[in-house]
Amino acid sequence: MSDSLFSDASKRLQAALKYVSISDDAIEHLKYPKSSLSVSIPVRMDDGSLKVFQGYRVRYDDTRGPAKGGVRYHPNVSLDEVQSLAFWMTFKCAALNLPFGGGKGGITVDPKALSKLELERLSRGYIDAIADFIGPDVDILAPDVYTNAMIMGWMMDQYSIIRRQISPAVVTGKPITMGGSLGRDGATATGAFFVIESIMPKFEQVPQETTVAIQGFGNAGAVLAELLAKAGYKVVAISDSQGGIYAKNGLDIPSIRHYKAAGNGVKAVYCRNSVCNIVEHEVITNQELLALDVDILIPAALENQITEENVNTINAKYIFEAANGPVTSAADRVLEAKGIYVFPDILVNAGGVTVSYFEWVQNRSGLYWTLEEVNQRLKQKIVEESNRIWSISQELAVPMRTAAYIHALNRLGEALNAKGTRDYYINSRVS
């Protein structure tokens, strides 16, 4: 992970600042994370040896409410990456008008190299190390890359043990039986689908005539691929960390999900009752997928996938960022010059944090919603904010990313100004 990831992320603010009227105090406040924590997590491995892992948690801003953000397990996790993700989460929550600030956490680990028992010890050890740094009214955790409902359940349980009270609202994305919300597993993908469905008609683009390529076939990418396929979009290419597949006439996404779930990777093969349907396809690399001539390209993997080095190979008309930070600021400028529309991560993948908010509300109230209620509330929130950001983009003639940051900055500025600014203290007089 580049040491300049946070610096690159911060550049997105500069383009938006010229269009907003917020105080210098607010701008200064948003330059820095509120607090950062680095911890060492000793884990007794199955073979009896002791291994120490590095963990992180960053609260970037909590002006609008307690920090909120996921925990990722990945070999490339660093403090720089976690700080950047917390920064993005701050603006994501503001853009969606959620009463949260931005936080993020992670552990530098290859989770695939650990047994389930080692993974549990690591997850509980992480909570032991950061328990005083988090809480339902302070900083709320959620799943991210290579973490899931089971891991969130371990974390919530460990926090409850430490506090000697059941504390479901400290973690979202938990198993349903531990206070999780219906619809949370697929929320990131469902939210992205609602964004696409609200934006594409503005370009008179109909599903049946729209080709899609998705980089990343994890929880977000796989669910989104299936939602788009069911809606009539032609999903012609997908990939995971090992590579991808392409079929110009479209892929059978449910079959691929079934096959991958069995541990076989993304193969266009599906077997049932000893009958196999082989879908003709080409094997491609992740870079080849990014360069495909498709209508919609969806990066749904990790950061910095479209950079100065490969941006000139991009041929898609529209890019929807289901991953966090997949396009660098330098690549953004090239894409804009090429007339390629980029719909930013702080809008496109905000379904996850939105339903996490719903879960937190349900935990606090003790009243739980049906899946239909969750998806209805999610759609209303996503479509409403998508249209507002689109209107800002059209009114100011700025890219959607800049419009999203303008929208978020206005809300953050109002909250920061409400606490008092230089102008207030200098110009006000006590009568």
The contacts of residue 105 (CB under 8 Å, 6+ apart) are: 55, 56, 57, 58, 69, 70, 71, 72, 82, 126, 130, 141
The contacts of residue 397 (CB under 8 Å, 6+ apart) are: none
Q: Is 93 helix (H, G, I), strand (E, B) or coil?
A: helix
Query: pLDDT 10s per residue in the chain (431 long)?
Result: 344 677 776 777 777 888 888 878 888 888 889 999 999 999 999 999 999 999 999 999 999 999 999 999 999 999 999 999 999 899 999 999 999 999 999 999 999 999 999 999 999 999 999 999 999 999 999 999 899 999 999 999 999 999 999 999 999 999 999 999 999 989 999 999 999 999 999 999 999 999 999 999 888 899 999 999 999 999 999 988 788 889 888 988 888 887 666 665 554 443 333 223 445 668 888 899 999 999 999 999 888 899 999 999 999 999 999 998 899 988 999 999 999 999 999 999 999 999 999 999 999 999 999 999 999 999 999 999 999 999 999 999 999 999 999 999 999 988 887 776 666 667 655 54
φ, ψ for residue 343, nearest 5 deg: -105, 120
Q: Is 407 left (phi over 0), alpha (psi -120 to 50) or beta?
A: alpha
Q: Is 324 helix (H, G, I), strand (E, B) or coil?
A: coil
CA distances from 405 to 213, 412, 414 (A): 26, 10, 14
Domain boundaries, the chain: 33-178, 187-348
CATH topology classification for 33-178: Rossmann fold (3.40.50)
Tell me, yes or no, if the two domains 33-178 and 187-348 fold the same way: yes
Q: Which of 34, 68, 92, 104 is catalytic?
A: 104
pTM of this prediction? 0.88
381 annotated active-site = no
With beta carbons less than 8 A apart as the criterion, state whether 11 and 409 touch.
no
Q: Where are the alpha helices (DSSP H) in 141-294?
A: 149-163, 187-199, 219-230, 253-259, 286-290
Q: What's the rounded Cα separation, in Å, for the pair 223 and 144?
A: 15
Best CATH choice for the domain 187-348 from the list 3.20.20.140, 2.130.10.10, 3.30.2350.10, 3.40.50.720: 3.40.50.720
